[in-house]
Structure 1
């Protein structure tokens, strides 16, 4: 499982998919979400605007990433 660092307390799912390199464009994220191919913490998620916080795990196909916050001294 790969970790993806975020600067703020939360990130939206569509943004995280792009940041993690799981999709190239927002339209790609929208299509995958509509098809029910993305899971957040083990449950299918269809909302691109779903708010994610450190500790959340996102799965697309056979790849899972975990959201982690930057250490406070690096934020």
Structure 2
């Protein structure tokens, strides 16, 4: 089952996503986290904290689960 992570903008980078989803407690932890855990974005292995994530992207993190990005529109 996938957890939905809502964002207020069109895009969020992977490092920001990890903090926004409460996987890490600060942005400075993103680089070491990416060295310790395998992360797939849309089924492609990813290790760049600056990777841009958009509405509908799926992020799988070993030992944490699967997440889907949802961009919030003004009407929601």
Please indicate the TM-score interval, normalised by the length of the shorter structure. Answer: 0.7 to 0.9
Per residue, is there more strand in 1 or in 2?
Answer: 2
Q: Which residue does the alignment assign to 1:23?
A: 24
Unaligned runs of 5+ in 1: none
Q: Which stretch of the first structure deviates more once superposed, 1-10 or 21-30?
A: 21-30
Aligned residues: 74
Normalization by structure 2: what TM-score?
Answer: 0.83
Secondary structure of 2:6 counterpart: strand
- Secondary structure of 2:75's match? coil
Partner secondary structure for residue 67 of structure 1: strand
Partners of 1:50 and 1:71 in 2: CA distance = 22
Deviation at 1:36, TM superposition (A): 5.4
Is the CA contact (8 Å cut-off) linking 1:36 and 1:44 kept in structure 2? no
When the two chains are superposed, the root-mean-square deviation of aligned CA atoms in Å is 1.5
Equivalence for 1:67: 69
User: Aligned partners of 1:36 and 1:43: how far apart in 2?
Assistant: 14
User: 2: CA distance between counterparts of 1:24 and 1:43?
Assistant: 25
